[in-house]
């Protein structure tokens, strides 16, 4: 049998046709995939919207309040050297504790209506919470006095100060230094004292109870 030879143009033609078929197939496949993929979902904004923060605050958790520190009740001093010289006199206490809560002045024992603090050295006195200064005066027995009103039902009084940093009608924030400890004429007391009183609804309140009370309950 006589073999036939392919003409020179046949192979190039077949090659071109095969390449054309492949190109068309690839183009068709690409178009099909493009219709199924949403490329917009890979934008930066979409990623941010779907990111879960490492630390998150639950919806039912109270957000931090920038003014929370000013609503908190603090003690009227920061020095760790301050001690209680005389506690608040409470009619419900036993007789021994009541006797320890008496202050002595000119042969007379008086019921302590606050807490008398003392230290071996002078210490700064601070406002226990936000308020307005409603009185500044000198007392013959207890030295310089500052009265701060916090709301219509609550006021605090600071006695036995040697220095006063405020005047009447001044607004004050909790934790602000308002003066310095001083002397009084009560028998047996140290030179560096502070008598601190709390009045709620016109009645003396034990400062120790006051420190542990929710501010909202004192409105």
Domain positions in the chain? 7-51, 68-218
How far is 162 from 190, CA to CA, in rounded Å?
Answer: 13
* pLDDT tens digits, 177-219: 999 999 998 877 778 999 999 999 999 999 999 999 988 888 8
pLDDT of residue 216: 85
Of 172, 79, 65, the closest CA to residue 129 belongs to: 172
Per CATH, which fold does 68-218 belong to? Glucose Permease (Domain IIA) (2.70.70)
Assess whether pLDDT exceeds 70 at residue 133.
yes
pLDDT of residue 188: 74
pLDDT of residue 201: 95
For residue 58, give Cα distances in angstroms to 48, 55, 61, 62. 19, 10, 5, 9
- 155 by DSSP, 3-state: which? strand
Instruction: Give every CB contact of residue 111 below 8 A, 6+ residues apart in sequence.
Output: 89, 101, 102, 103
Average confidence score pLDDT of the chain: 78
pLDDT of residue 20: 60
pLDDT of residue 39: 34
3-state helix, strand, coil in the chain (%, to 5): 25, 30, 45
On whether the pTM is more than 0.85, the answer is: no
How far is 170 from 113, CA to CA, in rounded Å?
Answer: 25
- Can you name the residues that pair with 118 across neighbouring β-strands? 83, 193
pLDDT of residue 36: 46
Cα torsion through 152, 156, 159, 163, rounded to 10: -90
How far is 95 from 109, CA to CA, in rounded Å?
Answer: 14
* pLDDT tens digits, 141-150: 899 999 999 9
Out of 31-35, 87-91, 114-118, 142-146, least confident range: 31-35
Assess whether pLDDT exceeds 60 at residue 101.
yes
pLDDT band at 6 (very low <50, low <70, confident <90, very high): very low
Contact between 85 and 194 under an 8 Å Cβ cutoff? The reply is no
- Can you name the residues that pair with 21 across neighbouring β-strands? none
Q: Where are the beta strands (DSSP E) in 41-191?
A: 83-86, 102-105, 108-111, 115-119, 124-126, 131-139, 143-151, 154-164, 171-172, 177-181
Out of 33-47, 89-103, 148-162, least confident range: 33-47
pLDDT of residue 7: 53
Angle at 142 between CA 109 and CA 174, to 5 degrees: 120
pLDDT band at 117 (very low <50, low <70, confident <90, very high): very high
Q: Which tokens hold the place of 210?
A: 């006051």
């Amino acid at each position: 049998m006589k073999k036939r030879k392919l003409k020179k143009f046949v192979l190039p033609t077949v090659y071109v046709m095969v390449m054309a078929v492949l190109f068309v197939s690839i183009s068709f496949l690409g178009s099909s995939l493009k219709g199924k993929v949403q490329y917009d979902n890979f934008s930066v904004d979409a990623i941010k919207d779907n990111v879960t923060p490492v630390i998150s605050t639950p919806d039912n958790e109270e957000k931090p309040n920038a003014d929370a520190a000013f609503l908190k009740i603090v003690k009227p001093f920061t020095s760790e050297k301050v001690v209680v010289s005389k506690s608040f006199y409470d009619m419900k206490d036993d007789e021994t504790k009541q006797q320890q809560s008496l202050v002595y002045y000119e042969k007379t024992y008086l019921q302590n209506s606050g807490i008398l603090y003392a230290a071996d050295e002078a210490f700064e006195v601070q406002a226990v919470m936000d308020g307005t200064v409603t009185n500044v005066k000198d007392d013959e027995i207890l030295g310089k006095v500052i009265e701060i009103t916090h709301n219509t039902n609550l006021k605090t009084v600071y006695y036995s100060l040697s220095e006063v940093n405020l005047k009447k009608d001044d607004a004050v924030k909790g934790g602000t230094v308002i003066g310095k400890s001083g002397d009084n004429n009560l028998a047996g007391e140290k030179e560096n004292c502070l008598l601190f009183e709390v009045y709620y609804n016109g009645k003396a309140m034990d400062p120790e109870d006051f420190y542990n009370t929710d501010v909202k309950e004192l409105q």
